[in-house]
Amino acid sequence: MKKLARFCTLIAGICWLAVSPARAGDHGAMVDHLSGTYVVIGKHAGSGTLFDGTVKLTRSGDRLQVVRTIAGQATTGTGTLEKALRGETTVLRVRFAHAGQDYEATYLIDGDLDNYARLTGYVYLKDGSTKRVGLEALFADFGQLQRK
């Protein structure tokens, strides 16, 4: 009977490890996967004005350095992988300043048919005073978006 109890405990432990959320050591591979250049399209927070540009994500330790270039103006920030929805999913949270205000963006991480990362999310003032959130979609650009 003791052997059966130990066996059941072992199986339960293996199952728990298989379905448990990503552990801290697992973020490195995701940070590498997200690194690269993206085309961004969206609506500005507050005004709803449409825009397009580029976003470059570069690994820096367990974080991402972010350079957003929209209408020729570059803005830098930092991105981190964080848990959301009571730890049920991992999101990319980007913090940056623009025109004297601190912004935060929360992106869901998904993929396209070629297994490149695709990010979609909301952009808002970090202090919570945003009346109209911004919307963004980021498409990985490794040369496949240009046709010759």
Q: For the segment 11-48, what is each residue's pLDDT rounded down to a tens digit?
A: 544 443 343 444 444 688 999 999 999 999 999 999 99
Q: Name the one residue in this structure whose structure tokens are 């803005």.
A: 75
- Contact yes or no for 93/78 (Cβ under 8 A): no
Q: From 6, 62, 52, select the one nearest 31 (Cα to Cα).
A: 62
**Residue 90 forms part of a structural domain:** yes
Number of domains forming the structure of the chain: 1
**CATH code of 66's domain:** 2.40.128.120
**Residue 69 forms part of a structural domain:** yes
**Residue 56 forms part of a structural domain:** yes
Written as one letter, the residue type at 87 is: G
Measured CA to CA, the distance from residue 94 to residue 123 in angstroms comes to 9
Name the CA radius of gyration of the chain, rounded: 19
What predicted TM-score, i.e. pTM, was given to this entire model?
A: 0.79
Calculate the average pLDDT of the chain: 86
Tens digit of each residue's pLDDT (9 = 90 or more) over 105-139: 999 999 999 889 999 999 999 999 999 999 999 99
Range of 53's domain?
22-140
Q: How confident is the model at residue 1 (pLDDT cuts 50, 70, 90)?
A: low
